[in-house]
Structure 1
Amino acid sequence: MEKGNVKEAMLRPTAEVRYREELDSLVATDKDPRPPGWRMSPSAVRRFILGNDGKASGKGPVIERKFHGDVSMIDRAIVTLMSNRGLLLVGEPG
Structure 2
Amino acid sequence: MIKSSSTGGVGYNWTLYDTSRNTYNVADLQLNANLSDAEAVSNQMDILSNGFKIFGSGTRHNGSGTTYIYAAFAENPFKNANAR
Is this a same-fold pair by TM over 0.5?
no
More strand by share: 2
TM-score (norm 2): 0.26
TM-score normalised to structure 1 length: 0.24
- Highest Rg: 1 or 2? 1
Structure with greater helix share of residues: 1
Higher relative contact order (Cα pairs below 8 Å, separated by 6+ residues):
2
